[in-house]
Amino acid sequence: MQRRLSWIFIGIAVTIIVVLFVSSSQTYEQQSLVSNLDKILAGKPFEKQLSAISFYYAGSEISIAAKGYSSFVEFFIRKGAHFFSYAVLGFSLFVGLSAWLKRKWLTLALSAGIPLLYASFDEFHQMLTGGRTPLVQDVMLDFTGALVGLLIGYFVMNSIRKRDVL
């Protein structure tokens, strides 16, 4: 891949880090989607089916009975956004760094290590922000997202290289 194109992916990674930093600077109340979800999901679609879902995350029960309908849905939106953001971060770092680093192991290590370190920093930053709770489970979720993105990047880059060789 051309080095100029790799800068786009590095730029995407930096943008995600900035957006995540701004997001963790906000209190839960500033970010809450519950009031909007109350309006959008007023009819509580799929409530019967979703009521069967119950599990624990970071020591708290996640269910409609424990959290309420909109808060339950918001939990999945927020955790999904974290997973997806870090997946894009891992993907972007891997693809962007691949053009600059010739050693695959170093590209893999940095593409996994940077998101892991940033996820840890992000949770520490949330500890300093009012109304936010830092969770080791969130670091693990973020890191898992980054690994998924990194693996997708790895397979995409390998298929591009194989195609260019043939």
Separation between Cα atoms, residue 99 and residue 114, nearest integer Å: 17
pLDDT tens, position by position, 40-72: 999 999 999 999 999 999 999 999 999 999 999
Do the Cβ atoms of 146 and 87 come closer than 8 Å? Answer: yes
The pLDDT of residue 165: 63
| 3 state SS of 154 | helix
Asked if residues 27 and 132 have their Cβ atoms less than 8 Å apart, the reply is yes
Tens of pLDDT along the chain (166 residues) come to 577 889 999 999 999 999 999 999 998 888 899 999 999 999 999 999 999 999 999 999 999 999 999 999 999 999 999 999 999 999 999 999 998 998 999 999 999 999 999 999 999 999 998 888 899 999 999 999 999 999 999 999 888 878 876 5
C-alpha 115/C-alpha 144 separation (Å) is 10
Is residue 95 within 8 Å of residue 160, measured between CB atoms?
Answer: no
Beta strands in 26-133 (DSSP E): 54-57, 60-63
Q: How far is CA 157 from CA 91, 102, 104, in A?
A: 10, 13, 11
96 CB contacts (<8 Å, ≥6 apart)? Answer: 6, 7, 8, 9, 10, 12, 13
Rg (CA), the chain: 19
Interacting residues of 162 by C-beta distance below 8 A, sequence separation 6+: none
Q: Quick check: pTM over 0.85?
A: yes
Strand residue runs (E) in the chain: 54-57, 60-63
Q: Is the separation of the CB atoms in 111 and 16 below 8 Å?
A: no
